[in-house]
Amino acid sequence: MWPESVAVVHGRKRLTWRAFRDRCRQLADGLLRAGIGRGDTVSVLLPNIPEMLECHYGVPMAGAVLNPLNTRLQDREIAFILGHCRAKALIVDSEFADLARRALGHLEDPPSVIVVEDSEHPEARGDTEIRGATRYVDVLAAGSVEFQWTPPADEWDTISVLYTSGTVGNPKGVVFQHRGAYLNTVGQALVTGMRADTSYLWTLPMFHCNGWCFTWALAIVGGRHVCLRNVLPERVFRLAVDERVNMLCGAPTVLTMLIHAPESARRRFEQRCDVYTGGAPPPAAVIEGMEELGFSVTHLYGLTETFGPATVGVIQDEWTGLSLTERARRMARQGVPYPTVGDLLVADPDSLVPVPADGETVGEILIRGNTVMKGYLDNPEATREAFRGGWFHSGDLAVVHQDGYVEVRDRAKDIIISGGENISSIEVEDVLHAHPAVMEAAVVGRAHPKWGERPVAFVTPTPGVKPPAEHDLRAFCRDRLAGYKVPDTFVFGDLPKTSTGKVRKTELRERAAGNGAEEPSSES
Amino acid sequence: MWPESVAVVHGRKRLTWRAFRDRCRQLADGLLRAGIGRGDTVSVLLPNIPEMLECHYGVPMAGAVLNPLNTRLQDREIAFILGHCRAKALIVDSEFADLARRALGHLEDPPSVIVVEDSEHPEARGDTEIRGATRYVDVLAAGSVEFQWTPPADEWDTISVLYTSGTVGNPKGVVFQHRGAYLNTVGQALVTGMRADTSYLWTLPMFHCNGWCFTWALAIVGGRHVCLRNVLPERVFRLAVDERVNMLCGAPTVLTMLIHAPESARRRFEQRCDVYTGGAPPPAAVIEGMEELGFSVTHLYGLTETFGPATVGVIQDEWTGLSLTERARRMARQGVPYPTVGDLLVADPDSLVPVPADGETVGEILIRGNTVMKGYLDNPEATREAFRGGWFHSGDLAVVHQDGYVEVRDRAKDIIISGGENISSIEVEDVLHAHPAVMEAAVVGRAHPKWGERPVAFVTPTPGVKPPAEHDLRAFCRDRLAGYKVPDTFVFGDLPKTSTGKVRKTELRERAAGNGAEEPSSES
């Protein structure tokens, strides 16, 4: 539809949709000529650069399966994934060549390696050589722009495999089928109202659920990909101005980074810019801070197992008149299912009886339909467990409000049980986020001889503000929460995070356990 | 997603999406209670009123098949269709009660009748009573708003049957499956860039390919249906202002009617209003006239067999600088396939070899994929013929331009063969449309003893302008066409049309044959 429009921008590089299509065809043909066959897996260890987008098209065009790797993983984790999904090739950015070399060193039968060199970022090139590696440009040069690709024989064939960061045990390979990827792509385009004039900035890693399927959604409307190798606030603001960016995605921590960017890095832009955030609910301060910068925030919710977002906190017109606090409270809810989601229930996970829409009764979010993964790769036990009763079990505990909006109360495993009472870690975190001196907060449980568990709060103070005192925070919580929900202990410092911006609560639980040994409980 | 937003506007009546959903559930339940079962067919003879939209949801929710009838058919044609699709119920607007009563009189085993009375148009109510008929409001009242509908057991189940106007023989029932309807609905939403703020005016009959699937597309984005019982220019302009209409569809004849509306009927509106036209290519004068009124025209092309539009004359940015003539020439082309169309070829219909993209070589438009009908109801012969070689044969002859845009040269059956040369009736019509005194023109072949066939032109003069003389038009054509393409005869007057605005060329061919007997051939 738009052969001469710009499809991909990266630095000074610009590719039209025609040129992009040609390169994807060349990649597909080049991979086939290099011995990749139908059903083979191609792993990619790439930042948000044009080559990563090309892999999202060229690899499936070759009939192969795409396996995007999180660039922040350790060598042993990468080695595990490459072995588990039996990767036949690894396409790696030269910045990560050293990481890849170390990962490959752990493997008996390593995949062949194709190295990408980012022409726009010569400074990012590592000096590690991988023996026997081919250059990406040479793979493309060997492929024909006339290559005629064939669609998958079956729409339930696998298009990609993505490994969940898995806080316990080895990561699990989430298997995406073409049908689900197509429908979730359509869902993204419809929910965001994407059009041919959409200029989309890649602040969300493409290795995360194939960039929530936005990698594919832009093509269905003829919008524009604006690549971004590193998410630096100064670059985000500059591209917002230069490329008239009007859409981007990211975890709330990315938005926090923009809000706290130094004045010198900020730029004013004229266009409306829609920001879709997920991974964690956006606190009121983040919504307000983003609005002040000129962004409009919408909250999405989903999991890798649902191809990324499956619900949207649709902003209703009648919320306009509400106070920021009230509006933010509604916007932070996970919302209503995408039009492309088959069924979504909040229900008792065993009886499947839905909870009433009372905003109080907690159930598990259960999802079924085309936009749910096929299963975990070579892991029938975990697959069976995840799909018991015929529904995908999200592991998220939620309520349904009177207006039908779903709100997550906690991860099933993050709930703190103290003296027989459930404490939602999110509820306590929300209170802490409302404190002006708190930039971020995470609450976990710690074993307690009398109460079973007690909450511990980890807090990152707001930069440039007087750091909060522990007794201040305790009093602030006590004014707003039942006494048993007030954390026993407050620990200050940075929060450990996954590459997608989620707080690593497992690590905090370990720290809290250690902390508990040092400090007496101040239970009140 | 938008339960409290307005879904349907009709006069002073307004239904939110919640209220609309409740009414659709009631209709489904009411139909089931009235004895309609899964797989039964419900015919509807309704104008573009809310009840027609409700039928598009309530009938499938009951597991039944919708059969929208063209309200301009004759009683015998309606009787044929009701009998052919074995309609179990007929939902009819009281304005058409007399027509329905006459149609039912032709049937041995007539369907049960449900009568709709349009609360907003009491003047449109006929005074015919149909014996034993139920009132639509009573069917709804008998149904529950809590009715739990189940989706189709198989996505290839039938959702609706639409009869093609068929210029020869009995009409054929085009069978739509749920899967195709869903995908074409998604296609309409994506191609038009429809969003929650879309206010869509119903100038296109909903009985035409389920309103090109716009009946369903508005729901997927939460837009607004603005109903319109009769397409009167004064009402169209008033609603454009009052309801801030920003999208509508219609055949070029509808657009011509707006352009030639009296000054007193016209209104200026501030919003951008996108107009999608199909059924015939929009002449330059129509594009220009509509732009002057504040509308932006895009040309769509498709057939009932493809659920309505399958290609779109995407307007490329770089056309902005072109002259109106050149821009209109490009815009009038049928364009490129929808993203939801599987495959579209312009090829030799027997060998399936595609034509080169040279803008000259003529082939037939062939389409395959999900958005093509299942087949013609109880007509295996016509189905086999339409799908020979595994592709749906459109019967439209076209070329492919260098930029990939498809342009229809003629219906296979409308091509005129004179002295062994093909004359495209569309080419001659385009020349006539360029004459300022010609509002509409249609060219057909007439048998000729020497040449086989010769073209005859039927012309509707532009109102308020000096009527063109035959010798003027002949000279005008001779300046712009090869001699053998210049019509022998020019006949002035209104053109006979189908309810969807297509010129009835079969009727013109009959007239031309009669004409020929009276007048000597003026072949030059």
CATH of the domain at A443: 3.30.300.30
Q: B1, A312: Cβ pair inside 8 Å?
A: yes
Q: B193, A189: Cβ pair inside 8 Å?
A: no
| Helices and strands in chain B, H and E counts | 16, 26
B165 inside domain: no
Calculate how close chain B gets to A317, using CA atoms only, in Å. 9
Burial of B466 (0-12, 13-18, 19+ CB in 10 A): exposed
What pLDDT is recorded for position B165?
Answer: 65
B277 inside domain: yes
Calculate how close chain A gets to B323, using CA atoms only, in Å. 20
| Helices and strands in chain A, H and E counts | 16, 26
In chain B, which residues have their Cβ closer than 8 Å to the Cβ of A190? 186, 189-190, 220-221
Calculate how close chain B gets to A193, using CA atoms only, in Å. 6
The closest alpha carbon to B159, from B53, B83, B63, B51, belongs to: B63
A523 inside domain: no
At residue A250, the 3 state secondary structure works out as strand
Q: A190, B404: Cβ pair inside 8 Å?
A: no
Overall domain count for chain B: 3
**CB B501 within 8 Å of CB B204:** no
- CA-nearest residue to A405 within chain B is B1
Rounded to whole angstroms, the Cα distance separating A252 from A501 reads 8
**CB B523 within 8 Å of CB B489:** no
What is the C-alpha end-to-end distance of chain A, expressed in Å?
Answer: 66
Structure tokens at B240: 């454009």
Rounded to whole angstroms, the Cα distance separating A507 from A496 reads 7
Strand bridging mode B199-201 / B224-226:
parallel
Using CA atoms, how far residue B364 sits from A54, A354, B354, in Å, is 34, 54, 9
Using CA atoms, how far residue A56 sits from A95, A198, A377, A467, B266, in Å, is 20, 19, 19, 45, 51
In chain B, which residues have their Cβ closer than 8 Å to the Cβ of A4? 316, 318
Q: A190, B314: Cβ pair inside 8 Å?
A: no
Mark whether B424 and B388 lie in a shared domain: no
Burial of A321 (0-12, 13-18, 19+ CB in 10 A): exposed
A448 inside domain: yes
**CB B120 within 8 Å of CB B228:** no
Q: A189, B190: Cβ pair inside 8 Å?
A: yes
Mark whether A110 and A190 lie in a shared domain: no
Calculate how close chain A gets to B479, using CA atoms only, in Å. 35
Q: A2, B339: Cβ pair inside 8 Å?
A: no
B173 inside domain: no
Calculate how close chain A gets to B119, using CA atoms only, in Å. 29
Mark whether B385 and B471 lie in a shared domain: no
CATH of the domain at B81: 3.40.50.980
Q: Which conformational region is residue B58 in: left (phi greater than 0), alpha (psi within -120 to 50 degrees), or beta?
A: alpha
In chain B, which residues have their Cβ closer than 8 Å to the Cβ of A186? 186, 190
In chain A, which residues have their Cβ closer than 8 Å to the Cβ of B320? none
B210 inside domain: no
Question: Nearest by CB to A186, which of B186, B314, B316?
Answer: B186
Mark whether A341 and A434 lie in a shared domain: no
What pLDDT is recorded for position A406?
Answer: 97
Using CA atoms, how far residue B303 sits from B139, B278, B300, B393, B395, in Å, is 34, 10, 10, 11, 10
Rounded to whole angstroms, the Cα distance separating A65 from A309 reads 21
Domain boundary, last residue among A355, A379, A411 = A411
Q: Which residues of B touch A (CB under 8 A)?
A: 1-5, 186, 189-190, 193, 195-196, 220-221, 312, 314, 316-318, 336, 339, 403-404
At residue B407, the 3 state secondary structure works out as strand
Residue B283 per-residue DSSP state: P
Mark whether A275 and A338 lie in a shared domain: yes
**pLDDT tens for the 524 residues of chain A, in order:** 999 999 999 999 999 999 999 999 999 999 999 999 899 999 999 999 999 999 999 999 999 999 999 998 889 989 999 999 999 999 999 999 999 999 999 999 999 999 999 999 988 887 778 999 999 999 999 999 999 999 999 999 999 999 986 555 678 999 999 999 999 999 999 999 999 999 999 999 999 999 999 999 999 999 999 999 999 999 999 999 999 999 999 988 889 899 999 999 999 999 999 999 998 888 888 899 999 999 999 999 999 999 999 999 999 988 989 998 899 999 999 999 999 999 999 999 999 999 999 999 999 999 999 999 999 999 999 999 999 999 999 999 999 999 999 999 887 778 888 877 778 888 899 889 889 899 999 999 998 888 888 999 999 998 888 889 999 999 999 988 888 889 999 999 999 987 667 788 889 999 998 854 444 333 33
**CB A292 within 8 Å of CB A302:** no
Domain boundary, last residue among A394, A411, A428 = A411
Mark whether A214 and A357 lie in a shared domain: yes
Question: Nearest by CB to A220, which of B190, B195, B317?
Answer: B190
**Total Cβ atoms within 10 A of residue B483:** 9
DSSP string, A438-499: EEEEEEEEEEETTTEEEEEEEEEEPTTSPPPPHHHHHHHHHHHS-GGGS-SEEEESPPPB-T
CATH of the domain at B254: 3.40.50.12780
A162 inside domain: no
Model pLDDT for residues B247-257, shown as the tens digit of each residue: 999 988 889 89
Q: A190, B190: Cβ pair inside 8 Å?
A: yes
Handedness of CA A55, A57, A61, A65 (dihedral sign): positive
What is the C-alpha end-to-end distance of chain B, expressed in Å?
Answer: 66
Mark whether A423 and A505 lie in a shared domain: yes
Give the orientation angle of helix B17-33 with respect to helix B50-61, to 10 degrees: 60
Mark whether A313 and A273 lie in a shared domain: yes
Domain boundary, last residue among A367, A395, A411 = A411
Mark whether A361 and A444 lie in a shared domain: no
- CA-nearest residue to A319 within chain B is B4
What pLDDT is recorded for position B503?
Answer: 86
- Give residue B429's identity as a one-letter amino acid code: E
Mark whether A379 and A280 lie in a shared domain: yes
Mark whether A400 and A426 lie in a shared domain: no
Calculate how close chain B gets to A339, using CA atoms only, in Å. 6
- CA-nearest residue to A190 within chain B is B221
Q: B1, A336: Cβ pair inside 8 Å?
A: yes
Calculate how close chain B gets to A125, using CA atoms only, in Å. 38
B171 inside domain: no
Rounded to whole angstroms, the Cα distance separating B145 from A200 reads 42
Mutation for testing the A interface, residue in B1, B311, B341 having most A CBs under 10 Å: B1
Tokens 């990266």 belong to which residue? A10
- CA-nearest residue to A191 within chain B is B221
- Alpha-helical regions (H) of A243-305: 252-259, 284-293
At residue B228, the 3 state secondary structure works out as strand
Mark whether A267 and A392 lie in a shared domain: yes
Q: Which structural domain range is residue B470 located in? A: 416-518
Calculate how close chain B gets to A514, using CA atoms only, in Å. 46
Q: SS3 for A391-450, per residue?
A: CEEEEEEEEECCCCCEEEEEECCCCEEECCEEECHHHHHHHHHCCCCEEEEEEEEEEECC
In chain B, which residues have their Cβ closer than 8 Å to the Cβ of A317? 5
What pLDDT is recorded for position B522?
Answer: 38
Q: Which residues of A touch B (CB under 8 A)?
A: 1-5, 186, 189-190, 193, 195-196, 220-221, 312, 314, 316-318, 336, 339, 403-404
At residue B16, the 3 state secondary structure works out as strand
- Which residues, 6 or more positions from A63, have their beta carbon under 8 angstroms from its beta carbon? A37, A38, A39, A149, A150, A152
